Chains A and B, each alone.
Chain A
């Protein structure tokens, strides 16, 4: 690999499964590691802000990053409920990495997605969001080419000055499987972090997400007749339209495609 001198740090968090709510490796963080390993191989450093929990499932989740083939994860010890950004920024200021990789947003907590932006601001680095791939890193000109993921599979090519922080999108390459053996044998390197308490968020109330009501189709009827019609008319879109005949079929499909702006 030609990027041997590059210092790449990926930040990992403990994710949470959407249905079982169990700790797991966060999907985007795992993709960030995959991207990092492809970029610099064994030179990838991994940082997690938080202590090694006594809770088995938490530890297993963190270990599943090790199972991707990392030799160790640096643990930046910090008390629960403290502001990870400040702790990490403090630590990274000394490390001066060329590239920091993170997920777009955490799978639990506030999951505001602010962390990479705040780090970029604090460390004075460039910030690229939602990348799918790092195409090349030019260490001489201190520039990298990355692909940014856009909706519906589209990609935008960006040039970005080193050092930079990139948040890795779900569109990036799937993370490699986490193997049990390496996960069990990997090491945690503990570093004492500074503590910054996050007062603000402790006052918030959280609850399980409620299903958002589906927006009703509001009919802005100006007349009684309109309102009457809206209230009594058969709801459209219940059954589909059935078309027979080649010509009619093709035309109907084309009309739909035109309507949806696809042709």
Chain B
């Protein structure tokens, strides 16, 4: 028997066995996921895996051109090679064209693996080391082995080249390569991401995210269930457990996490890896990436039925998150970090009653007064005493109305003297554009954003239901608000409770008015200005253009920060982070203000009351913080819409919805 005959025979056995082993591993892995709670299975999604992989995932990967090309070469080469290997060696389809194809694909994969190797030579800190350092070698061995193996078959080299020595070397290489690339896919190892990732893309909990869609609202939970929130890994939905396995430890989340940058004990990548440890059991000693700042690796362990908090993950880690979604947005595997964090927070708050910092006080205030700071609900409209606002209601003596074009959602800025300025500016602008609007007055409650992100789903649902029943009493076309958090809540999270509205952020609404010439802005001012994207407007709702359009209409050339639009850094005000106040090395707003100062801007335009509060909290001297509404009011040319006033109102009535 010649060495080539031996190889061919041996490969059949080896690959068949490897595939069998892979199958066993896959079943084992699936059993791990099935420990989770039931959740809708989107079977159709499985058909979409290739498309989602090639379009949606690649779209994210392509933000790093080097890596995307490398991945195309390596992964493409690998997938193609694998198929060909199976055809050639398992089904024994000895077609010459397949052999040539395998030669090409393995070469492609080899080229890709060289680039992986180069990148791994001096890896940036966000990359995990350990087994991930082995991966380029495995890729090379796999591709090279099959490349060499295929050479004789194509006739480039005579068969039996190299004799038994080369055959042995090839056997060794192929065992290594297949072991890593096939068995490692389901038994754990760097290639696990390919198997779990593919399934995750198909069975993702938020199917709407693919094909350019968005799904950012938190999912409601049944308040009458036996356990509220996630205590142990098995309390996650099964597809959440699956998603954790999809992580490639690329560390893009870590690069974008404001809490990590501020030295707070959170690293989204480590968190997801900890969830994997929790699901499969073990400790975190083998984790080879950046630790949670201030917490040593190797000190925590977990298991599927062991509580997570303070055993596997410190509670401070959960509470450091600002829910800014930068990690989710940056994740090429579309893992939902924020969902997992909020799920665990829900258990902490609703079952253990351990919301840190001022959390418990804030939540108590929200249930007693419908606003986080415990102001008397009857004073909600005090700020507007001089504004003569139209209020929704049934009391005709007070000139209350039941119908208006626009419902102006005031939000908790009503109690904050700083953000009352923004509200006043908005009202002047709305009046200048002759918009027919009304407010809910004292009947408005907090949107519930803060409560929900602090894990208090019960309070959120109460507030949401209360707001929905209030709003359903009246007729209006559009809700306009200056608060992106309320905007997001009403737009994306009230739907589950029967509240479906046409909601606009004030920037979007004003942008429409400006483009329709209903508001005229003076564009002669030269301002050294930069714009800070609010997370809940940008990443959560994809609105990057309207605020920029407005600023440009004022003649401003925006000095963009390095981190802007989808990679904008959070101000630190989201997700209840200012409430829980987990200590770090520096403050997130200070870092963001440093970004602003870098652009040499004198004004930073914001579009969120939270951002203005956080950024204004930075010690002076610093650039001025102004809401876009305030800037617009400064630039407003009054009186130009006089003649078109009637038209405006009619347009509004017929226009929206």
Verify whether A and B have any Cβ pair under 8 Å.
yes
Interfacial residues, chain A to chain B (CB-CB below 8 A): 17, 19-20, 22, 24, 60, 67-69, 176-182, 184
Q: Is the CB of B374 within 8 A of A179?
A: no
Min distance, Cβ B653 to any Cβ of chain A, angstroms? 37
- Determine whether B360 belongs to the interface, using a CB cutoff of 8 Å to chain A: yes
Is B354 interfacial (CB 8 A cutoff)?
Answer: yes
Q: Is the CB of A178 within 8 A of B353?
A: yes
Let me know if B363 is at the binding interface, CB within 8 A. Answer: yes
Give the distance in Å from the alpha carbon of A176 to the alpha carbon of B359 in the complex.
11
- Is the CB–CB distance between A181 and B355 below 8 Å? no
User: Interface stretch among B36-44, B140-148, B313-321, B344-352?
Assistant: B344-352
Contact A24 B364 (CB under 8 A): yes
CB distance from A19 to the nearest CB of B (A): 3
In the complex, what residue of chain B is closest to A69 when comparing beta carbons?
A: B353
Q: Which residues of B contact A68 (CB under 8 A)?
A: 353
Complex contacts, A184 vs chain B, CB 8 Å: 223-224
Set B227, B363, B369, B459: member contacting A19, Cβ < 8 A? B369
Q: Using a CB-CB cutoff of 8 Å, which residues 351-404 of chain B contact chain A?
A: 351-355, 359-360, 363-364, 367-370, 374-379
Chain B residues near A179: list those with CB within 8 A. 349-353
Contacts known (A19-B374, A19-B375, A20-B377); A177 close to B354, Cβ less than 8 A: yes
- Cα A253 to Cα B376 in complex, Å, equals 38
- 4 closest pairs, A vs B, by CB? A179-B353, A19-B376, A177-B360, A177-B353
Q: Which residue of A lies closest to B349 (CB)?
A: A179
Contacts of B355 in A (CB 8 A): 177
Pairwise interchain contact A180-B374, C-beta atoms closer than 8 A: no
Contact, CB under 8 Å: A181 / B367: no
CB distance from B382 to the nearest CB of A (A): 12
Contact of A180 with B228 in the complex, beta carbons under 8 Å:
yes
Give the residues from 49 to 105 in chain B that come closer than 8 angstroms, CB to CB, to chain A. Answer: none
Q: Are A181 and B456 in contact (CB under 8 A)?
A: no
CB distance from B490 to the nearest CB of A (A): 23
* Residues A176 and B353 in contact, CB atoms below 8 Å apart: yes
Closest chain A CB from B572 CB (angstroms): 23
A17-B368, A17-B369, A67-B353 known; A181 vs B377 contact (CB < 8 Å): no
Given contacts A19-B375, A177-B363, A24 and B353 within 8 Å (CB-CB): no
- Nearest CB on A from B224, distance (A): 8
| B224 nearest in chain A by CB position | A184
Shortest CB–CB separation between residue B298 and chain A, in angstroms?
A: 32
In whole angstroms, what is the CA distance A67 to B355 when docked?
13
Please, which residues of chain A bring their CB within 8 A of the CB of B331? none
A-B contact pairs, 5 of them (CB 8 A): A20-B368, A20-B377, A22-B369, A180-B351, A184-B224
B interface residues, how many (CB within 8 angstroms)? 29
**In chain A, what residue has the closest Cβ to B369?**
A20
In the bound assembly, the distance between CA atoms of A119 and B102 in angstroms comes to 91
Q: Which of B224, B227, B350, B355 has the most CB of A within 10 A?
A: B350
Cα A177 to Cα B348 in complex, Å, equals 11
Q: How far is the CA of A181 from the CA of B457 in the complex (A)?
A: 11
The residues of B that contact A182 with a CB separation of less than 8 Å are 351, 353
Residue among A17, A22, A178 facing the most chain B CB atoms (10 A cut-off): A17
Contact between chains at A181 and B368 (CB < 8 Å)? no
B429 interface residue per 8 A CB criterion: no
Contacts of A181 in B (CB 8 A): 227-228, 350-351
Closest B residue, CB atoms, query A181:
B351
Question: CA of A67 to CA of B350 in the docked complex: distance in angstroms?
Answer: 9
Residues on the A chain within 8 Å of B353, using CB: 67-69, 176-179, 182
Given contacts A19-B374, A19-B375, A19-B376, contact A180 B369 (CB under 8 A): no
Whether a CB of chain A sits under 8 angstroms from the CB of B458 is yes
Q: Which residues on B sit within 8 Å (CB–CB) of A178?
A: 353, 360, 364
A178 to B351, CA, bound (A): 9
Q: How far is the CA of A180 from the CA of B456 in the complex (A)?
A: 8
Contact A22 B360 (CB under 8 A): no
Q: Which of A17, A181, A182 has most chain B Cβ within 10 Å?
A: A181
Q: Does the CB pair A20–B376 fall under 8 Å?
A: yes
Known interface pairs A19-B376, A20-B376, A20-B377; A180-B368 also in contact (CB < 8 Å): no
Which residues of chain A are within 8 angstroms of B458 by Cβ–Cβ distance?
Answer: 180
A24 and B375 form a contact (CB under 8 A):
no
Nearest CB of chain A from residue B633's CB, rounded to whole Å: 32
Q: In the assembled complex, how far is the CB of residue B414 from the closest CB belonging to chain A, in whole angstroms?
A: 15
Residues of A within 8 A of B374 (CB): 17, 19
A69 to chain B, nearest CB (A): 8
Residues of chain A lying within 8 A (CB to CB) of residue B354: 177
Question: Chain A contacts of B349 at CB under 8 A?
Answer: 177, 179-180
Which chain B residues border A22 with CB–CB below 8 Å? 368-369
- CB-CB under 8 A from B228, the residues of chain A are 180-181
Residue of B nearest to A15 (CB): B368
- B376 closest partner in A (C-beta): A19
A56 nearest CB across to chain B (Å) = 10
B175-195 vs A: 1/0 string, CB under 8 Å?
000000000000000000000
B223 and A24 within 8 A (CB): no
Contacts A177-B363, A184-B224 known; list 8 others, CB within 8 Å.
A20-B369, A20-B377, A20-B378, A177-B359, A177-B360, A178-B353, A179-B349, A179-B352
Task: Encode B275-299 as 1/0 by CB contact (under 8 A) with A.
Answer: 0000000000000000000000000
For A69, list chain B residues within 8 Å (CB).
Answer: 353
Please measure, in the bound complex, the distance between the C-alpha atom of A184 and the C-alpha atom of B222, giving whole angstroms: 13
A67 to B353, CA, bound (A): 8
What CA separation (Å) do A24 and B364 show in the bound complex?
A: 9
Say whether A24 contacts B350, CB under 8 Å: no
In the assembled complex, the Cα of A68 lies from the Cα of B351 at a distance in Å of 10
Closest Cβ of chain A: how far from B306's Cβ, in Å?
Answer: 19
In the bound complex, what is the Cα–Cα distance between A180 and B228 (angstroms)?
9
B227 contact set on A, CB distance < 8 A: 181
Contact B352 A180 (CB under 8 A): no
Please name all residues of chain B whose beta carbon is closer than 8 Å to the beta carbon of A19 when the two chains form the complex: 369, 374-379
User: In whole angstroms, what is the CA distance A17 to B376 when docked?
Assistant: 9
Question: B residues within 8 A CB of A180?
Answer: 223, 228, 349-351, 456-459
The smallest C-beta distance from B375 to any residue of chain A, in angstroms, reads: 7
Chain B, range 222-265, C-beta contacts under 8 Å to A:
223-224, 227-228
Q: Provide the residues of chain B in CB contact with A17, threshold 8 Å.
A: 368-369, 374
Most buried by B among A60, A69, A177, A182: A177
CB proximity to A under 8 Å, residues B513-551: none
Which parts of B299-354 form the interface with A (CB within 8 Å)?
349-354
CA distance A158 to B7 in the complex (A): 91
Q: Are A24 and B351 in contact (CB under 8 A)?
A: no
Inter-chain CA distance A22–B371, complex, in Å, is: 13
Closest to A185 in B: B226
Complex: chain A residue closest to B368, CB-CB: A17
**Minimum distance in angstroms from B438 CB to a CB of chain A:** 24
Q: Bound complex: CA of A176 vs CA of B363, how far in Å?
A: 13
Instruction: Give chain A residues whose Cβ lies under 8 Å from the Cβ of B352.
Output: 179
Q: How far is the CB of B231 from chain A (nearest CB, A)?
A: 10
Shortest beta-carbon distance, B90 to chain A, in Å?
53
CA distance A43 to B370 in the complex (A): 35
Could you tell me which residues of chain B, from 15 to 45, have a CB within 8 Å of some CB in chain A? none
What chain A residues lie within 8 Å of B457 (beta carbons)?
Answer: 180
Contact A24 B456 (CB under 8 A): no
Give chain A nearest CB distance to B253 CB in angstroms.
30
Nearest CB of chain B from residue A242's CB, rounded to whole Å: 22
Task: Give complex CA distance A69, B379 in Å.
Answer: 34
Report which residue of A20, A22, A178, A180 has the largest number of chain B beta carbons within 10 angstroms of its beta carbon. A180
Q: How far is the CB of A10 from chain B (nearest CB, A)?
A: 17
Smallest beta-carbon distance B104→chain A, Å? 59
